[in-house]
Amino acid sequence: MTLLVSAGAGLLYTRLFGIGGYLTSPIYGIFTGASALGTDSLLRRSPAFARLRSGPTLIYLPVAEAIMLLAVVVGNSAGGLACWALGLADWSLQEAITPTARAVIYSFVVSSLYVFAARVRDLIGGEIFLNLLLGRYHKPIEIERVFLFIDIVGSTAYAEKHGDLAAQTFMGAVFAAIADPVREYRGSVEDYVGDLAIISWPLKRGIAEARCVSCLFAIDAALSRDALGWQRRFGRVPQIRAAMHGGPVVAAEIGVDRHKIAYFGDVLNTTARIEALSRTLNVSYLISGDLLARLPGLPEGIAERDLGSHRVRGRDQLLAVHALERKRDRAAARSVA
């Protein structure tokens, strides 16, 4: 998608200003777009730049814009070098790699707009962003999805001890840490409700290769990996509870001034009941028997434990649930017992 947009921007430049060719301009556009978006991606993942972003805006913005401008110039020069090397234009090497002021300004504006759109996409989720653009859920439709509820254990007690501001900082750091695993396993963060994150997948994608389960344990690993860092920053290592369930829900675009895609149905209510049941059963990770039966198998190193059927509020039928745990954790528990 990035390459197509960048090539299109190159063609538009030729169309608007009559400069360049219909073969060389897309090459310039592709190299410039790749450089700008790649730079933005690296900056967003850079711990040093994260510290800069958390500082004064008057310092962060000029630095960010200067870096983006440099990326545009480098991209333009790389595109010119490619055109020169391929013999696509009758330019000297110096002319090919030296961008004009007009080309730099145009590329900078287009790259900034595209990066802004990418940021919005990341903010609300790639799948939601695309569906809003396409207007897929203007009318409610029924679809099947997998839902994973992630609840931060002890957030209320943390707020009582350290204050709401510190608690929000802590929860924000936890939610930031789960972003990469969700992205890696092709999920979408649908919403944050207090100390609860709601993650979902289209049903076929979520159960394929048991992605929803792999994502949960990747989140678990991500939170455990930097235990010393969490202790140093917040005085504790985050612990989570999780509940998973899937099935048919109604999806609809709602809102007037602020649009969002919302899901409605018994599946969401049941997932919430499973999350509450995890507290009663004193188990960290639960999955419904219905969803477990639809998985092709569990990821390597992960086991399930049948916890039987339970009656939950708002549901007439008994609900079968299973605990999910690492095999090594189960073996350790048995050896202690």
Same domain, 93 and 134: no
What pLDDT sits at residue 188?
Answer: 86
What pLDDT sits at residue 336?
Answer: 45
How far apart (Å, rounded) are the C-alpha atoms in residues 104 and 137? Answer: 39
Same domain, 105 and 137: no
Q: Which domain, by its residues, includes 116?
A: 2-124
What pLDDT sits at residue 296?
Answer: 93
Last residue of a domain, one of 124, 145, 175: 124
3-state secondary structure of 187: coil
Same domain, 167 and 308: yes
Q: What is the pTM of this model?
A: 0.68
Last residue of a domain, one of 73, 96, 124: 124
Alpha helices in the chain (DSSP H): 2-17, 24-44, 47-53, 57-86, 93-97, 101-124, 126-134, 155-162, 164-184, 203-207, 211-225, 227-234, 266-281, 289-294, 327-336
How many structural domains are present in the chain? 2
Same domain, 200 and 113: no
Same domain, 82 and 172: no
CATH of the domain at 195: 3.30.70.1230
Mean pLDDT in each 10-residue stretch from start to end of the chain (337 residues)?
70 72 78 79 71 64 77 84 82 81 78 66 56 64 91 91 91 90 88 91 92 95 90 92 94 69 86 91 94 94 93 79 84 51
Same domain, 96 and 154: no
What pLDDT sits at residue 305?
Answer: 94
